[in-house]
Structure 1
Amino acid sequence: MKIVVIGCTHAGTAAVVNIKENYPDSEVVIYEKNNNVSFLSCGIALNVGKVIDTTEKLFYSSPEALNSLGAQTKMQHEVLNIDFKNKKLSVKDLLTNEVFEDNYDKLVLTLGSWPIVPKFEGGTLDNIVLCKNYNHALNIIEKSKYAKNVVVIGAGYIGVELAEAFKMQGKNTTLIDAENRIMAKYLDKEFTDIAETEFKNKGVNIVLGQKVQKFEGTNTVEKVITDKGEYNADLVVLCIGFTPNTKLVQGKLETLPNGAIIIDEYMRTSEEDVFAAGDCCVVKYNPAKDTRYIPLA
């Protein structure tokens, strides 16, 4: 049986390890667009705050480790198209630009997610960065060396952790969110009140109930303008949220309106022999007995 896995960060890595453990005779082929696997993006803030001293420590596997399990790990290969009816893939080698065809018996989609980036005026200025992958982590750490005023936009899990990390590094840190509370989707007010007080006591500027309108600067960002104020910034990190990275299967599989692939309790998609896991798909949310999109590292 030939199993193809598309994407290999967390869900992909876990899928490969478990497939080879439970079906050691299966042929497993991995296609990964980037040049690394298994990067713990949830640890970027720890790296920024110097709790973890090197970014490389945020990897827990490697192409070599997966190959040692018997998988064929094809890095910097992008899947361009999937023919679900005939179980065929069109793949591009990003190093040679060669395009070739492959086939599968079972397909595992672990396509992940990507940060939401609204089209702000001034959004193309330098030092406005994302926080998702290895290269983003290196970029944030390098740029923060020279930044005095850091603005983090979005006060979810990632935003509050980054705000803490930047403050630990002695930066003038501002945390902005359109909601009236930090971590409003995750914690009740009695808990976020405590967290907000702690941030303020540590010197973090908490700006709530304000929507970012635009960025100002010559070549590099200098100010963040909201609907109620303006804030100095040498570095801006966008932590607004995530969207499923599912353009590859758009219109081919059943999805939520936001593109998250719908799966059943066995992680099966609407196409036979095609499975999905991780940030590209929904989860069964047991407390409410419903289906939701909850992207988490």
Structure 2
Amino acid sequence: MKIAVIGCTHAGTAAVKTIAAEHPQAEITVYERNDNISFLSCGIALHVGGVVKDPDSLFYSRPQQLAELGVTTRMLHEVVQVDTAAKTLAVRSLETGEEFMDSYDKLVVTTGSWPVVPRMDGISLDNIQLCKNYFHAKEIISRSKEARRVAVIGAGYIGIELAEAFRELGKEVVLLDNMDRVMAKYLDAEFTSLAEEELAGHGIQTALGEMVTGFEGEDGRVRRVMTAGGSYEADLVVLCIGFRPGTDLLKGQIDMLDNGAILVDDYMRTSNPDVLAAGDSCAVRYNPTGKQAYIPLATNAVRMGTLVGKNLLEPLVRYRGTQGTSGIKLFDLNIASTGMTEEAAMAAGIAAAAVTVREASRPEFMPDYEDVLLKLVYESDSGRILGAQVMSKADLTQAANTLSVCIQNRMTAEDLAYADFFFQPHYNHPWNLLNKAGHAAERQRAEAAAEAAPADEAQPKEGVRKTA
């Protein structure tokens, strides 16, 4: 059985290792355009900021390790054409230019994603950098040494982390986004306002609600970022606008979303039974809505890649979907979120409500504690949990993982209110923070139901006695 794998970062590495373990007789060939695999791009900001000294430590696998599993690893090889009807690949060596054909019995598509690069004036100026792979990491480090003013475009997690890293290096930093809030995809306004205060308190300028229109330069190098509202000087620009799935090879051959994300079933099978796919090239089932969505995360990729190996020949292990759970450390703040924000639920037309809990991270009789902000978003009628956000100087980010499981299992606020959590004064209160959020949501639901009840239902009917 011949298995061809296109792309080998997170999903590809997980798929290859699992296939090799589950099907030791399979003939596995990996085609990868880069000279490395499994690079943790989420560690680029840590490397820029000097937290991770050696970028080589951001790899968790090597081509040699795959070779030891009996896998043929063709690095610096680009697949230029796929014919799913004939089950063939056209491949080009990026070192020699040689082209050749290969065939497969099963094809694994783990081609990942690529940063969105807008078409605008000056985009080709030197020192405008992308932030995705190992090469980008090295370029950013090299070019930042001579830069004094850095502009980061995109105030999502990657942009926020890079802005902090550059500021820690003593750079003048401006963070730009066309949204009017930072991290608006992950957090509601009461959280992003605190994050923006943290950025400002550390000397990072934010230019929010401003659309970048182009770049101006001198001697071929970028010098200014132009927006609809003005301009910002910059010696170095890093684009963190977002990602698009790298699936052009398969267009017209398998089913995709409009943005090119491959549609897979619960067993990672595409609309072609001999093509499986995983990772950033795919759409995922977003559990809060039950619909397909594009949520490129390394955690999704590793899970999906592993499931490709498990389900290569028959459906054995079902994908559980995702909540898009994520976390970030912003200077002294620990922030995490899962599922839908209140704003996202409203935009999706879901009848949702939310409660916010503010309290100390542990009992006030303890010698020290930190303030905690937790928000729970839930479906108004059923109480089903849709999402949550947590922020504190204390690291309570694991609460987001707990609530992710709650969403995945379709638990309600009432379930959360009475879930069993331990109490120990070093860590929490007798009623856990999550229990309190569940109780608050249930009280809110009861109050809303009472307000919505007709006036005559609020009074006992004749001959009927109200009981407690």
Q: TM-score range by the shorter chain?
A: over 0.9
1:82 has 2:82 as partner? yes
Quote the offset at 1:250 in angstroms: 1.4
Which residue matches 2:133?
A: 133
Supply the distance in 1 between the matched residues of 2:145 and 2:297 (Cα, whole angstroms): 28
Q: CA deviation at 1:130?
A: 0.3
Equivalents in 1 of 2:276, 2:189: separation in Å? 38
- 1:222 aligns with 223
Which 10-residue stretch deviates more, 71-80 or 88-97?
88-97
Deviations for 1:19-74, whole angstroms, at most 9, x for unmatched residues? 11112221111011111111111100000000000211111111001111111101
C-alpha separation in 1, matches of 2:229 and 2:87: 53
- Which structure has more relative contact order (CA 8 Å, sep 6+)? It is 1
Q: Tell me the residue number matched to 2:278.
A: 277
How far apart are the structure 1 equivalents of 2:49 and 2:111? 29
Q: Which runs of 5+ in 2 are unaligned?
A: 299-468
What secondary structure is seen at the aligned counterpart in 1 of 2:166?
helix
1:6 corresponds to 2:10: no
What is the 5 A alignment of 1:196-235? 196-218=196-218, 219-235=220-236
State the shift of 1:142 in Å.
0.3
Tell me the residue number matched to 2:21: 21
Once the two structures are superposed, what CA deviation does each residue of 1:125-153 show, in whole Å capped at 9, x if it has no partner? 11111000111000000000000000000
**Local SS of the residue matching 2:199:** helix
Equivalent residue letter for 2:239: L
What is the CA–CA distance in structure 2 between the aligned matches of 1:150 and 1:101, rounded to whole Å?
Answer: 45
> How far apart, CA to CA, are the structure 2 residues paired with 1:270 and 1:245?
18
AA aligned opposite 1:239: C
SS at match of 1:216: strand
Alignment-derived partner of residue 239 in structure 1? 240
> What secondary structure, in the 3-state scheme, does the structure 1 residue paired with 2:276 have?
strand
- Larger-Rg structure: 2
AA in 2 matched with 1:237: V
Number of residue pairs the alignment of both structures matches: 297
Matched residue, 2:445: none
SS of the equivalent of 1:248 reads helix
C-alpha distance in 2 between matches for 1:101 and 1:275: 20
C-alpha distance in 2 between matches for 1:183 and 1:51: 23
Partner of 2:329: none
Q: CA deviation at 1:190?
A: 1.5
For residues 161-212 of structure 1, the C-alpha deviation after alignment (integer angstroms, 9 at most, x for no partner) is 1001000110001000000110101111121111111111000001100000
The amino acid of 1:276's aligned partner reads A
1:121 partner letter:
D
Partner of 1:148: 148
Which AA in structure 2 matches 1:262? L
Question: Over aligned residues, Cα RMSD in angstroms?
Answer: 0.9
CA distance in 2, matches of 1:174, 1:214: 16
Question: Which residue is equivalent to 1:72?
Answer: 72
Q: In structure 1, how many angstroms separate the alpha carbons of the residues matched to 2:256 and 2:243?
A: 16
1:224-274 CA distance string (max 9 Å, x none): 111112111000000011111111111211111111111111111111210
Shift of 1:101: 1.3
Three-state SS of the structure 2 residue aligned to 1:190 is: helix
Query: Match of 2:46?
Result: 46
CA-CA distance at 1:87 after TM superposition: 1.2
Match for residue 288 of structure 1? 289
Where do 5+ consecutive residues of structure 1 fail to align? none
- Does the alignment pair 1:262 with 2:263? yes
Map of 1:105 onto structure 2:
105
SS of alignment partner, residue 147 of structure 2: coil
The residue aligned with 1:35 is: 35
* Deviation >4 Å, runs of 4+: none
SS in 1 for 2:137: helix
SS at structure 2 position matched to 1:66: helix
C-alpha separation in 1, matches of 2:146 and 2:44: 18
Deviates more, 1:214-223 or 1:169-178: 214-223
State the one-letter code of the partner of 2:297: L
Task: Compute the TM-score of the two structures, normalised by the length of structure 2.
Answer: 0.63
State the shift of 1:91 in Å: 1.2
Give the % identical residues: 57
What CA distance in whole angstroms lies between the structure 1 residues aligned with 2:216 and 2:139?
21
